[in-house]
């Protein structure tokens, strides 16, 4: 067992987090993560309405009696989701931990704090993490460039970013991006983090609501089989290499605008990949950590294996390297 400031302050057994993942962060996976002693998050905007979110939270409570949270990702949109209603659904459902991502959580912090909810904000830079700390968040999840989804525009890998954040922040840090096994957990702790967040690794578990074709592709793929899209639009996203992502990259490379790829990048097409297993149906996010994944375990086996192997690395490999002065 590995105890850190994060496990103590957030009341979980292991310093491992399953953050929000669009179309993936559903009750079955989150409950399995909670039962394994880690902290899982239901993804609010995967649910079509705030009322559906209330039902999904209730369904998760039927599956586990352990602590879990909800992710609320705040994104720009012509017609934004009813964020205030989703926030109210979270509060009224008695959730005690929220992960925010995307834009600043400033508008939501007063309501969350008044309800006694702990907030973890996901950041891709030290400057954004410092702003979040000033807003009163209880922890930050710091995403290195290796991560799936949106790695920000600074292109700083986790080896640098986590250590740089640890030098400046006083609140707990959750390391995210490029982590899929015990070695990543130990490395993150050594860099100054208090826990790790994994997305791609949890996608490739038995309980993840993702088609087996997707899980199989992750197991078969290397660190070279992701690509970055929307670079020219300053909205970089890391996705799996497939026919659609290749087409998007080429259109934008030729000077195309978002309107030229709008239909290709539609979120519903990505959801259909996870549901049908048609890997070229749309864009789907995956991190470079897929290179470290070679099986599809249950969540319980994954978490227990990671913690046991991390403990062994610390005690059997690292501790003996420290010798007494002669």
Please tell me the distance from the alpha carbon of residue 12 to that of residue 66, in angstroms, as a whole number. Answer: 9
Confirm if 30 and 53 have CB atoms less than 8 A apart: no
- Residue holding tokens 């209880």? 138
Q: Which pLDDT belongs to residue 109?
A: 98
Two structure tokens written together for 203: 């996608």
Q: Which pLDDT belongs to residue 77?
A: 75
Instruction: Label each residue of 144-198 as H, E or C.
Output: CCCCCECCCCCCCCHHHHHHHHHHHCCCCEEEECCCCCHHHHHHHHHHCCCEEEC
If you ran DSSP here, which 8-state letter would residue 285 be given?
A: B
Q: What is the mean pLDDT of each run of 10 residues along the chain (326 residues)?
A: 97 97 97 98 98 98 98 87 97 98 96 98 97 98 96 96 98 98 98 98 98 98 97 92 97 93 94 97 97 98 98 95 82
Residues 6+ apart with CB under 8 A from 205: 29, 32, 296, 297, 298, 299, 302
Q: Which pLDDT belongs to residue 318?
A: 95
Coil, strand or helix at 278? coil
Q: Which pLDDT belongs to residue 147?
A: 97
Q: Which pLDDT belongs to residue 154?
A: 95
Q: Which pLDDT belongs to residue 31?
A: 98
The full set of domain ranges for the chain reads 5-206, 212-276
Q: How many CB atoms lie within 10 A of CB 132?
A: 26
Please tell me the distance from the alpha carbon of residue 183 to that of residue 306, in angstroms, as a whole number. Answer: 8
**Residues 224-255: b if buried by 16+ CB within 10 A, e if exposed:** ebbbebbeeeeebbbbbbbebbeebbeebeee
Q: Which pLDDT belongs to residue 323?
A: 83
Please tell me the distance from the alpha carbon of residue 66 to that of residue 219, in angstroms, as a whole number. Answer: 30
Confirm if 273 and 211 have CB atoms less than 8 A apart: yes
Q: Which pLDDT belongs to residue 245?
A: 97
Pick the CATH number of 5-206 from 3.20.20.70, 3.40.50.2300, 3.30.70.890, 2.40.50.100: 3.20.20.70
If you ran DSSP here, which 8-state letter would residue 229 be given?
A: E
Please tell me the distance from the alpha carbon of residue 307 to that of residue 117, in angstroms, as a whole number. Answer: 27
Distance between first and last Cα of the chain: 33
Q: Which pLDDT belongs to residue 1?
A: 87
Q: How many CB atoms lie within 10 A of CB 196?
A: 32
**Between the CA of residue 278 and those of 19, 53, 158, 214, 237, what are the distances in Å?**
25, 27, 31, 8, 21
Q: Which pLDDT belongs to residue 76?
A: 76
């Amino acid at each position: 067992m590995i105890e850190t400031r994060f496990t103590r302050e957030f009341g979980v057994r292991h310093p491992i987090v399953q953050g929000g993942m669009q179309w993936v962060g559903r009750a079955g996976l989150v409950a399995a993560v909670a039962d394994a002693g880690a902290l899982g998050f239901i993804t609010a905007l995967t649910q079509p309405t705030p009322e559906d979110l209330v039902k999904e939270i209730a369904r998760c409570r039927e599956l586990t009696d352990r602590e879990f949270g909800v992710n609320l990702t705040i994104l720009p949109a012509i017609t934004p989701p009813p964020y205030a209603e989703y926030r109210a659904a979270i509060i009224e459902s008695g959730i005690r931990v929220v992960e925010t991502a995307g834009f600043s959580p400033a508008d939501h912090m007063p309501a969350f704090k008044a309800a006694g909810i702990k907030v973890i904000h996901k950041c891709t830079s030290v400057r954004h993490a410092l702003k979040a700390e000033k807003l009163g968040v209880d922890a930050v999840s710091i995403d290195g460039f290796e991560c799936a989804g949106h790695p920000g525009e600074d292109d700083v890998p986790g080896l640098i970013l986590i250590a740089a954040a640890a030098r400046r922040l006083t609140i707990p840090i959750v390391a995210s991006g490029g982590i899929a096994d015990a070695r990543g957990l130990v490395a993150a702790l050594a860099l100054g983090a208090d826990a790790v967040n994994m997305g791609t690794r949890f996608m490739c578990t038995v309980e993840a609501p993702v088609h087996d074709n997707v899980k199989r592709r992750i197991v078969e793929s290397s660190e070279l089989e992701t690509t970055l899209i929307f670079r020219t639009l300053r909205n970089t996203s890391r996705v799996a290499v497939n026919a659609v992502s290749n087409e998007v990259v080429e259109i934008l490379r030729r000077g195309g605008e978002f309107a030229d790829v709008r239909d290709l990048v539609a979120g519903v097409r990505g959801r259909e990949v996870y549901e049908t297993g048609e890997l070229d149906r749309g864009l789907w996010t995956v991190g470079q950590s897929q290179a470290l994944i070679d099986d599809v375990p249950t969540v319980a086996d994954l978490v227990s294996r990671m913690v046991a192997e991390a403990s062994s690395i610390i005690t059997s490999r690292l501790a003996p390297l420290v010798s007494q002065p002669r």
